[in-house]
Amino acid sequence: MNKQQQKNIINKNQKPTYRDLPSFQRVLLLSSTADLETSFVYQRMPKCRKQSYPKNKYMEFIHPEKIIKKADNENVQSPRQTINYEENGEKIYRCDRIGRGPLQDVVDERIKTVYDLLEVTSQDKPNNLLFGTRKQLENNQYGAYEWVTYGKFASMRKYFGSGLVHLGAAKGEPIAIWSRNRLEWVLASHSCYPYNLFNVALYDTLGPESSSFILKQIEAKFLVCDKAKIPVILELKKKCTNLKHIICMDENIIESYKEKAESIGLKLYTVKEILKIGEETFSEEKLDLPTPEDVCMIMYTSGTTGSPKGVILTHKNYIAGTVNPINTNIIPNGNDCLISYLPLAHIYEKMMESWIIYGHGRIGFFSGNIRNLTSDMNQLKPTVFPVVPRVVSRIYDNVMGKISRSPWHIRQLFKFCYWAKSNDLKRGRKFVLWDILIFNKIKEQVGKNIRLMATTSAPISKTHHNFARVCLCSLLPQSYGMTETAGAGAIQRKGKISLGNVGPPPADIEVKLVDVPEMEYLTSNGEGEIWMRGPSVFGGYYKNKEETEKVLTEDGWLKSGDIGRINANGTFSIIDRKKNILKLQQGEYVSPKYLESIFVRCPSISQCYVYGSSFENFLVAIIVPDFEALGHVNQSDEEELKKLVEDDPKIKKQIENELFEISNKEKLKGFEYIKTFHLEHKNFSIENGLLTDTYKLKRLTAKKVYQKIIIQLYERVNKEMGKTATDKNKTPVSKKDK
């Protein structure tokens, strides 16, 4: 719109606001001035032109969090996506697409087991590329991806399984797998199914104690692992007496390992040797195909609060779980390519890979080091990028940090484009100019070809969800599920993605809410603990009847432990966690996990661990500052960072102010405020044992690590308040704590 057109509008006394203009006219208005630094974008422009209005009234640029608030009513405006019926006086919620009919347990009548999934797709498209691996070159560099086709891999899995059977693996026995994501991992997994074996995955970062616990509990005879795990396994043999065969994924095994293995009753093979044995002994008559009711895998939970529990999943459970994404209008195809970097020991990554296989797409494994992920993605050019909220949070912090340090006109252009695209997404419009102007450059961090990102594992904040949709990939459904439901639970649909919810139940799950009176969550208010039932719900924990009875009812309902809310459009929102609540001395209940999700939104906070005791009436916290946000870019010198958090009072004061501000903003109750905190210079990480493979805080481990510091925090505050903390029976880290 040129100046003459603006003048004509004014002369006709139409006086449209800036928001009334179509998107393309807004951009023309923005770019009509040659000097970008003197061109303003106002929240309100009564005459569609620049005027000298007071800055605080008319020149307040829209921040991402303000955009989120304006989108909150989106849940009310959308059509309802669930139906409900009554059973024993309780409302049961279902996917609106299946009505009162039977819950869906298959996506294709030909595919009823995981064996069928690969068999059918490999027969349909035998020459399509399936799994890709980057070949390691000299100087720790990696080359291009090398691929295995559907047809070849389908044969390889039968040969590998044949080799296992030849060495003594019998129907219904476990095959343990312990390594990072790689071709040999999925080969060992899929080789179980033609012979009715089942696989058990150990997280790549598990310590000796948890690893021996799992291997002993499943009484594993076979373990497939990488070369780095062999010394650990040789030491674990004393505890894991059933272990007989180790199959190494790498070649060139150190000779001393072989000698020591033989001396303690272990036989050591390579994957190539097993493939050769299997090919020589293979016969179609030896195949022992599974039924839908046979055990497919045992997946161990992360163990954030104790020993991991083995979730028994049948083929029926797992295949029903793949209905979860298929019924969202997000259909995979042969052009899709997934980057496999999230651990295969968890259901999320397994489900995503099965979804890709169902669509005859490709899966490329990362090179093994998360720091090289950008290089892997540049080489692979994936179209599907699964993430967890922590990954999105790090990208958000990085991008917003760079934007805040950019020239003034770049900051204003970003804010304008962010606001405009957020509104376009909310209204279902697509306008590529915003991407051309700024967002394509940001999208390069994850890859220009990304058409789908998906997030689960934990609720993602509205700010981060909207940021990822605007800046990275507009198709970013949020989902909710558990290992116990084979990943199913709820998922947003294409074309109906909004903020602050996880979508409706999929076609294989029905949901009900149950009162939690001690936390004041009542079904009469549309809130309560989420219970789920359907063909994807597991049958129990392996050799753990006590824990099974705690979560499964006689009529098949699974108690999730999560607090949910049903929205006006039939979607669900996860608002709290029942299992992670604690009671303070005054009888008030607190959810540390919920508070942590609020406090980490402070600009200067990277990570946070909130602790409370039933013997104290206030909360304390361990906080890892965001040193980059605080202006300290060099984070390689740990001693310097340690000295910084100990000696610089400005950092503590800034974080105190931010905690106070966000606590007021979120209208927290007085007992939910952080009374005092300790600044930790080291990040919580998988390597130091404080995070699980899905970046969840291990609360029990954190409590042990910071026990002395927590005691000191309580003693300091109690001393200031005139109390004494000398009574050992009232120590704030008593075993009686909830």
Residue 55 has pLDDT above 50, yes or no: no
Q: Comparing 114-290+331-380 with 582-730, is the CATH topology the same?
A: no
pLDDT band at 425 (very low <50, low <70, confident <90, very high): confident
Q: Indicate the helix (H) or strand (E) that contains 377.
A: helix 373-380
Residues 6+ apart with CB under 8 A from 497: 469, 475, 476, 477, 478
Evaluate whether 195 touches 165 at the Cβ level (below 8 Å).
Answer: yes
The pLDDT, as a whole number, for residue 730 is: 41
For 452-475, what is the mean pLDDT?
Answer: 86
End-to-end Cα separation, the chain, in angstroms: 64
Most confident of 55-59, 302-306, 401-405: 401-405
* Residues whose CB falls within 8 Å of the CB of residue 266, separated by 6 or more in sequence, listed in order: 233, 234, 237, 243, 244, 245, 246
Average pLDDT, the chain: 82
pLDDT of 42 > 50? The answer is no
Q: Return the higher-pLDDT residue of 62 and 157.
A: 157
Among the four given CATH numbers 1.20.1560.10, 3.40.50.12780, 3.40.50.150, 3.40.640.10, the one describing domain 114-290+331-380: 3.40.50.12780
d(CA 723, CA 729): 15
What integer pLDDT is reported at residue 613 of this predicted model? Answer: 83
Measured CA to CA, the distance from residue 347 to residue 110 in angstroms comes to 23
According to the model, what pLDDT value does residue 603 have?
Answer: 87
What is the Cα–Cα distance from 59 to 500, expressed in whole angstroms?
A: 29
Strand-strand pairing, 527-533 and 510-514: antiparallel
Predicted local confidence at residue 169, as pLDDT: 94
* pLDDT digit string, tens, across residues 538-549: 999 999 999 999
448 has pLDDT over 50: yes
Q: How confident is the model at residue 2 (pLDDT cuts 50, 70, 90)?
A: low
Identify which of 75-89, 519-533, 624-638 has the greatest average pLDDT. Answer: 519-533
Report pLDDT digits (tens) over 330-365.
Answer: 888 999 999 999 989 989 899 999 999 999 999 999
Exposure class string for 604-627: b at 16+ Cβ within 10 A, else e: bbbbbbbbbbbbbbbbbbbbbbbb
- What integer pLDDT is reported at residue 656 of this predicted model? 92
Place of tokens 């209208």: 667
State the sign of the Cα–Cα–Cα–Cα dihedral 42, 46, 51, 57.
negative
Q: Are 677 and 655 in contact (CB under 8 A)?
A: yes
For 66, half-sphere exposure in the C-beta direction (CA atoms, 13 angstrom radius) is 10
When mean pLDDT is compared over 431-435, 554-558, 588-592, 730-734, the highest value belongs to 554-558
Residue 496: pLDDT band with limits 50, 70, 90: confident
pLDDT interval class at 314 (50, 70, 90): very high
Domain boundaries, the chain: 3-60, 114-290+331-380, 582-730
Highest mean pLDDT pick, 5-9, 48-52, 585-589: 585-589
* pLDDT band, residue 325 (cuts 50/70/90): low
Band of pLDDT at residue 550, cut at 50, 70 and 90: very high
Question: Rg (Cα) of the chain, in Å, rounded?
Answer: 28
Q: What does pTM read for this prediction?
A: 0.76
What was the pLDDT predicted at 151? Answer: 96
Average pLDDT over residues 63-79: 44
**Cα–Cα dist 460/497, whole Å:** 13
pLDDT above 50 (res 33): no
Comparison of pLDDT for 186 and 241, the residue scoring more: 186
Q: Tell me the two tokens of residue 196.
A: 């009715």
Instruction: Please state, in angstroms and rounded to a whole number, the distance separating the CA atoms of residues 642 and 563.
Output: 38
In angstroms, rounded to a whole number, what is the distance separating the alpha carbons of residues 715 and 615? 12
Q: What is the pLDDT of residue 513?
A: 96
* Number of other CB atoms surrounding residue 453 within 10 Å: 20
pLDDT at res. 487: 85
Angle between helices 638-647 and 649-665 (to 10 degrees): 70
pLDDT tens per residue, range 371-414: 888 889 989 999 999 988 878 888 888 888 888 888 998 899 99
Q: Which CATH class is domain 582-730?
A: alpha beta
pLDDT band at 324 (very low <50, low <70, confident <90, very high): low
**Is residue 494 a contact partner of residue 345, using CB atoms and an 8 Å limit?**
no
| HEC readout, 476-518 | CCEEEECHHHCCCEEECCCCCCCCCCCCCCCCCCEEEEECEHH
Q: Are strands 90-95 and 82-87 parallel, antiparallel or unpaired?
A: antiparallel
Whether residue 199 contacts residue 243, with contact meaning beta carbons closer than 8 Å, is answered with no
Which parts of 372-477 are beta strand (E)? 384-387, 452-455
Residues 158 and 205 sit within 8 Å (Cβ to Cβ): no
pLDDT surpassing 70 at residue 572: yes
Distance CA 598, CA 608 (A): 10
Give the residue-averaged pLDDT of 643-656.
87
pLDDT band at 14 (very low <50, low <70, confident <90, very high): very low
